């Protein structure tokens, strides 16, 4: 995506006096209005000499509440970037409705309070970091009396103030990503849309960007991000939508998923001996009494069951070889949507 297209589709942010920061605008929507609402979004493309139709996304629907971090998770080519392009009216969908901060996404005013970081941003690398932000401040029509202070503020937010005078061709990939986030924050947006913000970064760069996004989350920013990196999504997101082949196959809040944990207890006795012992019936589910071997795996669904099972093993004289916690996390859900053809 070229920077020219991005510039043409982002309207200038309205100038605001310092005293008006945080004050609701006249006619503003109520706070309960979702930051983003997507209903039945569909887009296909034509490719090749025969102009064969290729599905981009089909029937994508989800809602992002204000102050929430929502992640679109999917493999490369699943439709994440196409979805984001449609949200910002950079790509025209064939069907569907999108509401940004209470307005139709085709209304230029709806994008005035949105900050956007594309997957592969293009910056003029002969500029310094500060010069680049001054260029974007012009595009966003940031008040000239507030411009220097605002640029310093976002540079400080992304921990780039000491490097603001260096040319971009001397920046690392992580530094460029942080500067891209500074650009997205420059207009003081209510909603941040970030396409693969940690893609291509080394572990240190990923940690830096992840830490910055966690800080923005604590500030109450609404963030929509796309990613194929499951651990990053688990640490950042409140809710996730999993895309597979252009369809949203699963939506899940991550609180319950992150806390879910079961246990595997390995008893040092053959299965027939364990079945004859006084252990709870639920722990024996899946145990084959005819199975060979000197150890048997038992299951507990939660800490209460784990304690009951260990007490039972002790009372029956069964030696406990090991106890292993098994989390059923986002990665399991993500893999399940692929192994089961998109039905988790």
Distance CA 191, CA 9 (A): 16
What per-residue confidence (pLDDT) applies to 3? 37
Distances (CA, A) of 293 to 273, 275, 279, 298, 312: 11, 14, 19, 14, 21
The DSSP 8-state label assigned to residue 197 in this structure reads T
Count the helices and strands in the chain (H runs, E runs): 11, 13
Q: Which residue has the higher pLDDT, 17 or 65?
A: 65
pLDDT band at 296 (very low <50, low <70, confident <90, very high): confident
What per-residue confidence (pLDDT) applies to 5? 35
pLDDT band at 202 (very low <50, low <70, confident <90, very high): confident
Assess contact for 88 and 116: CB atoms under 8 A: yes
What per-residue confidence (pLDDT) applies to 259? 54
Which whole number is the average pLDDT over 251-264? Answer: 71
* Structure token digits, residue 89: 């009216």
pLDDT at 15 over 60: no
Q: What is the mean pLDDT of the chain?
A: 83
Distance CA 182, CA 157 (A): 8
pLDDT at 85 over 90: yes
Which whole number is the average pLDDT over 33-43? Answer: 94
Assess contact for 71 and 237: CB atoms under 8 A: yes
pLDDT at 342 over 50: no
What per-residue confidence (pLDDT) applies to 76? 87
Predicted structure pTM score: 0.70
Q: Where are the domains of the chain?
A: 3-13+28-257, 261-327
pLDDT at 133 over 90: yes
* Structure token digits, residue 46: 């034509």
Which whole number is the average pLDDT over 17-38? Answer: 57
Assess contact for 174 and 209: CB atoms under 8 A: yes
Residues facing residue 104 across a β-bridge: 99
Which whole number is the average pLDDT over 81-93? Answer: 94
User: Smallest Cα–Cα separation from 83: which of 102, 114, 61?
Assistant: 61
Where does the chain show beta strands of DSSP type E?
36-47, 52-64, 69-73, 95-100, 103-104, 114-117, 191-195, 222-227, 239-244, 247-253, 261-267, 296-300, 320-327
Distance CA 104, CA 111 (A): 9
* Structure token digits, residue 177: 């990503």
pLDDT digits (tens, 9 = 90+) for 274-288: 888 888 888 887 676
Calculated CA dihedral for residues 229, 230, 234, 236, nearest 10 degrees: 10
What per-residue confidence (pLDDT) applies to 30? 47
* Structure token digits, residue 55: 């599905």
Distance CA 108, CA 90 (A): 12
pLDDT band at 344 (very low <50, low <70, confident <90, very high): very low
What per-residue confidence (pLDDT) applies to 338? 65
pLDDT digits (tens, 9 = 90+) for 146-179: 999 999 999 999 999 999 999 999 999 889 999 9
Whether the CA torsion 158, 196, 136, 168 is positive or negative: it is: positive
First to last CA, the chain: 33
Distances (CA, A) of 329 to 50, 141, 249: 43, 44, 17
Share of the chain above pLDDT 70, in %: 81
Which whole number is the average pLDDT over 26-33? Answer: 55
pLDDT digits (tens, 9 = 90+) for 72-84: 999 888 999 999 9
Report whether CATH 1.10.357.10 matches the domain 3-13+28-257: no
Distance CA 112, CA 11 (A): 6
pLDDT band at 339 (very low <50, low <70, confident <90, very high): low
* Structure token digits, residue 101: 């901060």
Q: Helix 129-139 and helix 173-185: axis angle, to 10°?
A: 30
Say how many C-beta atoms besides its own lie within 10 A of residue 139's C-beta: 16
Which whole number is the average pLDDT over 1-8? Answer: 37
Q: Which residue has the higher pLDDT, 300 or 26?
A: 300
């Amino acid at each position: 995506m070229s920077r020219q297209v991005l510039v043409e589709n982002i309207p200038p942010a309205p100038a605001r006096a310092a005293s008006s920061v945080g004050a609701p605008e006249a006619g503003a929507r109520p706070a309960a209005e979702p930051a983003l609402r997507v209903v039945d979004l569909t887009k296909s493309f034509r490719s090749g000499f025969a102009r064969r139709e290729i599905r981009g996304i089909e029937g994508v629907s989800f809602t992002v509440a204000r102050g929430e971090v929502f992640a679109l998770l999917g493999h490369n080519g699943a439709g994440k970037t196409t979805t984001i392009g449609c949200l910002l009216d950079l790509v025209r969908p064939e069907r569907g409705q999108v509401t940004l901060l209470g307005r139709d996404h085709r209304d230029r005013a709806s994008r005035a309070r949105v900050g956007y970081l594309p997957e592969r941003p293009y910056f003029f690398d002969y500029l310094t970091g500060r010069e680049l932000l001054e260029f974007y401040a012009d595009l966003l029509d940031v008040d000239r009396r507030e411009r220097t202070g605002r640029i310093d503020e976002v540079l400080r937010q992304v921990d780039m103030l000491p490097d603001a005078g260096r040319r971009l061709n001397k920046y690392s990939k992580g530094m460029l990503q942080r500067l891209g986030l500074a650009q997205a924050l420059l207009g003081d947006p209510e909603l941040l849309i970030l396409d693969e913000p940690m893609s291509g970064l080394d572990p240190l760069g990923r940690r830096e960007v992840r830490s910055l996004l966690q800080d923005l989350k604590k500030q109450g920013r609404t963030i929509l991000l796309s990613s194929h990196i499951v651990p990053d999504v688990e640490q950042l997101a409140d809710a996730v939508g999993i895309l597979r082949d252009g369809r949203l196959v699963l939506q899940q809040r991550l609180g319950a998923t992150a806390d879910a944990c079961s246990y595997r207890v390995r008893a040092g006795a053959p299965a027939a001996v364990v079945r004859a012992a006084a252990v709870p019936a639920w722990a024996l589910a899946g145990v084959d009494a005819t199975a060979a071997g000197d150890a048997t795996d038992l299951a507990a669904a939660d800490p209460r069951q784990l304690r009951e099972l260990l007490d039972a093993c002790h009372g029956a004289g069964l030696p406990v070889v090991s106890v292993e916690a098994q989390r059923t996390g986002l990665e399991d859900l993500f893999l399940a949507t692929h192994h089961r053809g998109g039905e988790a």
